[in-house]
């Protein structure tokens, strides 16, 4: 039987499981986004496909929001417990091991991702996809046009690229951490898992970040007429 206190006693593992599900979402989201390189038809068709899912799409969205909330709620709970577990803090504290920057910055990268997520949802998900903001060369290109036009603003590109850096860092620690928490540790393979963790984290970050960079730098709209990929 499901008991709420049972879930609460699995605080730490709840962070891991929701985090793992979010990583799978990111991979799905990245594959969809990369369709932008195929042009307006492919990308908008993908957007319409998601739109056409109707109820399923809303269920998925609620699930996704649930995952983010679970991840954040239990993270806050666990961090509060950890601070309490130390009690009085050390006057001098010097790491003994090889804690990487990614590991040390987990709370900071996580918080940055949250801020980013709010901005990001306002930018696209909650925006109307068929206003003047989507018009390129006199043609309304829907979500595709909205994304391309929005990344003509340099500060938005910088913000998105920094946020992808934070996501990459978060994943570099997170992926190998998930393996350890689920009990996978091996004298040979663990080294490779750590490397794979860095590789996948960087790959996902570069994949996402390439989009605003490519749009702004390579396919820059010096004139309205040249504004296309």
Partner 1 sequence: MSQKINLKLKVWRQKNTSSSGNFETYKVTTDTDASFLEMLDVVNEELIVSGKEPIAFDHDCREGICGMCGAVVNGQPHGPQRKTTLCQLHMRKFKDGDSIVLEPFRARAMPVVKDLVVDRSAFDRVVQAGGYVSVKTGGVPDANAIAISKENSDLAMDAAQCIGCSACVAACPNASAMLFVSAKVSHLALLPQGQPERHSRAKQMVMQMDKEGFGNCSNEYECEAACPKGISVSNIARMNRDYLKAGLS
Residue ranges binding partner 1 (CB under 8 A): 9, 11-12, 78, 81-82, 84-99, 103, 106, 173, 176-177, 180-187, 190
Of 7 and 56, CB closest to ligand HEM: 56
Residue 3, binding choice from partner 1, ligand HEM, none, Cβ under 5 to 8 Å by partner class: none
For tokens 């990001």, the residue is 120
3-class DSSP state for residue 150?
helix
Distance between CA atoms of 23 and 67, rounded to whole angstroms?
11
64 binds, among partner 1, ligand HEM, none (CB under 5 to 8 A by kind): ligand HEM
- Using CB under 6 A as the binding rule, whether residue 42 contacts ligand HEM is answered as no
| Contacted by 125, from ligand HEM, partner 1, none: CB < 5 to 8 Å by type | ligand HEM
DSSP 50: H
Write out 82-149 in H/E/C secondary structure: HHHHHCCCCCCCCCCCCCCHHHHCHHHHHHHHHHHHHHHHHHHHCCCCCCHHHEECCEECHHHHHHHH
Helix (H, G, I), strand (E, B) or coil at 229: coil
CA pair distance 152, 143, nearest whole angstrom: 15
Residue 64 near ligand HEM by CB under 6 A: yes
- What does 190 bind: ligand HEM, partner 1, none (CB cut-off 5 to 8 Å by kind)? partner 1
Q: With binding defined as CB under 6 A, does residue 167 bind ligand HEM?
A: yes
Based on the shown chain and the rule CB under 6 A, indicate whether residue 26 belongs to the binding site for ligand HEM: yes
| CB of residue 60 to ligand HEM, shortest distance in Å | 6
Q: Kindly state the smallest distance separating residue 76's Cβ from partner 1, in Å.
A: 12
Shortest separation between residue 185's beta carbon and partner 1, angstroms: 3
Question: By CB under 6 A, is residue 147 in contact with ligand HEM?
Answer: yes
The half-sphere exposure of 43 on its side-chain side, counting CA atoms within 13 A, is 21
Quote helix, strand, coil % in the chain, to nearest 5. Answer: 75, 0, 20
Question: Minimum CB separation from partner 1 for residue 13, in Å?
Answer: 9
- Report residue 29 as tokens: 């989201």
**Cα–Cα dist 113/117, whole Å:** 6
Instruction: Please pick, from the candidates 20, 35, 42, 50, the single residue that binds ligand HEM as defined by CB under 6 A.
Output: 50
Q: For ligand HEM, which residue has the nearest CB?
A: 208
**Cβ proximity to ligand HEM, 74 vs 160, nearer residue:** 160
């Amino acid at each position: 039987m499901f008991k709420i206190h049972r879930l609460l006693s699995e605080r730490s593992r709840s962070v891991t499981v929701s985090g793992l599900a979010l990583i799978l979402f990111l991979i799905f989201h990245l594959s969809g986004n990369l369709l932008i390189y195929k042009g307006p038809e492919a990308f908008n068709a993908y957007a319409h496909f998601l739109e056409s899912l109707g109820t399923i799409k809303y269920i998925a969205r609620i699930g996704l929001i649930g995952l983010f909330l679970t991840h954040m709620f239990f993270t806050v709970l666990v961090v509060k417990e950890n601070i309490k577990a130390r009690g009085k803090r050390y006057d001098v504290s010097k790491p003994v091991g090889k804690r990487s920057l990614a590991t040390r910055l987990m709370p900071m990268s996580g918080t940055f991702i949250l801020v980013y997520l709010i901005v990001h949802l306002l930018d696209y998900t909650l925006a109307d996809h068929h206003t003047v903001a989507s018009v390129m060369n006199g043609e309304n290109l829907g979500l595709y046009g909205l994304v391309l036009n929005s990344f003509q603003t340099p500060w938005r590109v910088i913000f998105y690229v920094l946020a992808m850096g934070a996501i990459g860092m978060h994943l570099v620690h997170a992926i190998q951490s998930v393996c350890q928490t689920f009990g996978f540790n091996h004298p040979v393979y663990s080294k490779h898992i750590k490397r794979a963790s860095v590789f996948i984290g960087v790959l996902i970050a570069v994949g996402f970040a390439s989009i605003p960079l490519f749009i702004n730098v390579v396919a820059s709209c010096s004139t309205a007429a040249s504004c296309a990929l």
